[in-house]
Amino acid sequence: MTRHKAPAKWLNNKRRPSTPVVSRVDALILSETVMNVSVATTFVRIATAVKNIRIAVFERKTPSRLRCMSYLLNLVYLITLVIASPWFVYNAIRKGKYRQGWGAKFLGRVPWRSRERPGIWLHAVSVGEVNLLQPLLAAIEDKHPDWECVISTTTRTGYELARQKYAPRSVFYCPLDFSWAVRTALRRIQPQLLVLVELELWPNLIRWAKRSDIPVAIVNGRLSASSARGYSRIQFLMRRLLQSISLVAVQNEEYAERFRQLGAVPDQIHVTGSLKFDGIDLDRENPATRQLAALAGISDQDVVFLAGSTQSPEEKFAVSVFRQLVSRYPRLRLILVPRHPERFAEVASMLDQQGIEWQRRSELDTDASDTPPPVLLVDVMG
């Protein structure tokens, strides 16, 4: 051990030729960087979007309202991307973020899926949502072992965790909400169902899925009061978008009412509880928990202060509280779990500066120490 010291319903699915058909889905179960895209290419996309909007609005040659809305959204997204590009470049260079998956994100080049089996595309933004998928995947694959589940994420940490937890299933970065990207992704995956975890309302993705006769479901749905107020300002758009969704499985009745007020179809809203609690192992004597406690030298007599999913400067606050309490509770142990892996080194440096004994989870020996440091930094994923 290295010690550190200072110093409930079924959905109908329309039949599509050349793809396997899943007639019903159980609602109880469903309860290379920005810099690789040249500036010239980006402005060509903007010019094309402007031209398409001009045709749609002024020359009245648009084939559908869907295409007109897609042109407008593409333009908004591209302008936003150009404005925010210095921020993306800075984070890519200084923090190593946003360097992966741009073929999938910008062009929809996700892995091709064989159409020999029915498929479900599940999208989870980051680590929290990826963890929520575990009980859902288990239920789907137990009830329908012939179905193939593929998983998309948005963040690098979510992607790495999904690959670790759900291999050998296909895991990829979700395309950005450009019409050409989501259309390409849908064509490559050919899912019979698209499942969005919690609240991922991307208009192009949802509308093009509907146009392709692919039902869309929200699971573990939540909608805070502040988000609902924001969405209410564009309710005329939200109503049409939410009515394109076949199932909205929410955590509680409060969230259900907010979805109804925004225009979701009441009969398609179901209160199913929280997947987060469904996935919790309530047995504290399970082998994994006991093994970790033994490695960290935590006994049944110890009191554990867990600071999880922390962001700066929350770790400093936790250490300050720990110091105030440890004189009263000598068996107190502090476990720090930073939310983002890129901050592991930063938190380690802070602990050194605080002059407190601590150890890394990644450096725990196979045997427990007789006198383990009182602070454990969890610097691993999964």
User: Is 178 found in the same domain as 296?
Assistant: no
Residues 266-321: pLDDT tens digits? 999 999 998 887 766 667 777 878 888 888 888 889 999 999 989 999 999 999 99
Domain count, the chain: 3
Quick one: pLDDT at residue 106? 92
User: Is 144 found in the same domain as 251?
Assistant: yes
Q: Does the global pTM surpass 0.85?
A: no
Residues 314-367: pLDDT tens digits? 999 999 999 999 999 999 999 999 988 889 999 999 999 999 999 999 888 655
Write the DSSP string, 34-74.
GGGS-HHHHHHHHHHHHHHHHIIIII---S-HHHHHHHHHH
pLDDT tens string for the chain (382 positions)? 555 554 433 334 433 434 333 333 444 344 333 333 334 444 445 455 545 544 444 444 444 566 777 888 899 999 998 898 888 888 778 777 777 888 999 999 999 998 889 999 999 999 889 999 999 999 999 999 999 999 999 998 899 999 999 999 999 999 999 999 999 999 999 999 999 999 889 999 999 999 999 999 999 999 999 999 999 998 888 998 999 999 999 999 999 999 999 999 999 999 999 888 776 666 777 787 888 888 888 888 999 999 998 999 999 999 999 999 999 999 999 999 998 888 999 999 999 999 999 999 988 865 555 678 999 999 987 6
For residue 359, the enclosing domain spans: 287-377
Quick one: pLDDT at residue 366? 54
What CATH number is attached to the domain comprising 341? 3.40.50.2000
Indicate which residues carry an active-site annotation.
129
Distance CA 39, CA 103 (A): 16
**Domain-embedded: residue 382:** no
CA-only gyration radius of the chain, Å? 24
CA-to-CA separations, 222 to 155, 208, 219, 227, 280, in angstroms, rounded: 20, 23, 9, 10, 19
**Domain-embedded: residue 1:** no
Peptide bond connecting 373 to the previous residue in cis, omega within 30 degrees of 0? no
User: Is 243 found in the same domain as 204?
Assistant: yes
Quick one: pLDDT at residue 52? 56
Quick one: pLDDT at residue 368? 53
**Domain-embedded: residue 245:** yes
User: Would you give the DSSP letter of residue 88?
Assistant: H
CA-to-CA separations, 149 to 141, 158, 190, 329, in angstroms, rounded: 8, 17, 12, 48
User: Is 194 found in the same domain as 71?
Assistant: no
Q: Is the dihedral of CA 335, 338, 341, 346 positive or negative?
A: negative
User: Is 332 found in the same domain as 241?
Assistant: no
User: Is 258 found in the same domain as 311?
Assistant: no
**Domain-embedded: residue 351:** yes
User: Is 254 found in the same domain as 193?
Assistant: yes
What CATH number is attached to the domain comprising 187? 3.40.50.11720
Q: What is the 3-state secondary structure (H, E, C) of 345-357?
A: HHHHHHHHHCCCC
Output the CA angle 242-117-276, nearest 5 degrees. Answer: 50
**Domain-embedded: residue 2:** no
Quick one: pLDDT at residue 148? 96
User: Is 327 found in the same domain as 301?
Assistant: yes
User: Is 241 found in the same domain as 195?
Assistant: yes
What residues does 123 pair with on adjacent strands? 152, 196
User: Is 181 found in the same domain as 74?
Assistant: no
Quick one: pLDDT at residue 42? 43
Residues 295 and 378 sit within 8 Å (Cβ to Cβ):
no
User: Is 258 found in the same domain as 138?
Assistant: yes
| Domain termination site, one of 97, 114, 138 | 97
User: Is 127 found in the same domain as 259?
Assistant: yes
